[in-house]
């Protein structure tokens, strides 16, 4: 089936397609590398393309190893609320933080780096986890006269979901291309994320049915 071009006012938002989230990485998402070819095919349909990149300092507070005795995937309370403690990943300048080698990146209009403040994590492409500190992406898309955001990437139940919900909150029409995403599914987090996104008005499609 041949893909047709999307409207000018639509952006393809590609979330965290990085080595550490792909098989062999520090926080690998099962099948994470499988989406790369689909995302590359989709890029030609969009006039506006944005990449996000997890970009943590080595001592980031979301890393389990920075909390004495804490286990990876345990939950702690931060000043901004609950925080999952992750294995060390996507450290600035590291191989794990680089985009997957097969991902086409030179067509991107913008790369948004997030999670670079050591005291606060950042799942969403739009806000850090305090829900106040903005990345500036919302304003960028508005100035580009974008009204519809199509999300792909890793992981469905965390950074994709948080980005989708924040995009809805900012007034964008939002679609998640499910075959171009993969989830972690931490204690049922994938099903919960899908339900939450649907309840908040996020649309779902595949790369062929967009």
pLDDT digits (tens, 9 = 90+) for 161-193: 999 999 999 999 999 999 999 999 989 999 999
Name the catalytic one among 159, 161, 166, 181.
159
Whole-number pLDDT of residue 5? 72
pLDDT above 50: residue 204: yes
Q: How many CB atoms lie within 10 A of CB 194?
A: 18
16 is annotated as an active-site residue: yes
pLDDT above 90: residue 72: yes
d(CA 124, CA 159): 5
Under 8 Å between Cβ of 51 and 108: yes
The mean of the pLDDT values for the chain is 96
159 is annotated as an active-site residue: yes
d(CA 116, CA 183): 23
The phi and psi torsions of 158 (rounded to 5 degrees) equal -125, -90
**How would residue 8 be classed by pLDDT, with cut points 50, 70 and 90?**
confident
pLDDT above 50: residue 1: no
Find the angle CA(93)-CA(99)-CA(104) to the nearest 5 degrees.
140
pLDDT above 50: residue 81: yes
Alpha helices in 58-150 (DSSP H): 137-143
What 3-state DSSP class applies to 195?
helix
Name the catalytic one among 20, 54, 114, 157.
114
Residue 97: which region, alpha, beta or left (left: phi > 0; alpha: psi -120 to 50)?
alpha
Residues in the chain: 210
Whole-number pLDDT of residue 3? 62
| Measured torsion, CA atoms of residues 113, 117, 118, 120, in degrees rounded to the nearest 10 | -100
Q: How many CB atoms lie within 10 A of CB 184?
A: 22
173 is annotated as an active-site residue: no
């Amino acid at each position: 089936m041949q893909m047709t071009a999307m409207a000018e006012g639509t952006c393809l938002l590609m979330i965290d397609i990085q080595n550490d989230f792909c098989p062999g990485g520090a926080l690998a998402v099962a099948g994470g590398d499988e989406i790369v070819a689909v995302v590359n095919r989709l890029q030609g349909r969009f006039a506006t393309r944005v990449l996000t990149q997890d970009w943590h300092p080595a001592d980031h507070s979301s890393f389990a190893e920075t909390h004495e005795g804490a286990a990876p995937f345990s939950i702690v309370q931060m000043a901004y609320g609950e925080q999952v403690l992750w294995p060390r990943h996507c450290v600035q300048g590291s191989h794990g933080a680089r985009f997957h080698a097969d991902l086409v990146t030179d067509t991107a209009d913008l790369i948004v780096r997030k999670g670079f403040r050591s005291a606060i994590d950042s799942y969403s492409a739009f806000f850090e986890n305090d829900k106040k500190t903005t990345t500036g992406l919302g304003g960028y898309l508005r100035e580009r006269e974008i009204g519809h955001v199509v999300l792909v990437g890793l992981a469905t139940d965390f950074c994709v979901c948080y980005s989708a919900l924040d995009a809805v909150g900012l007034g964008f029409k939002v679609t998640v291309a499910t075959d171009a995403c993969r989830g972690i599914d931490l204690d049922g987090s994938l099903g919960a994320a899908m339900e939450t996104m649907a309840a908040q008005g996020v649309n779902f499609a595949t790369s062929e049915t967009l």
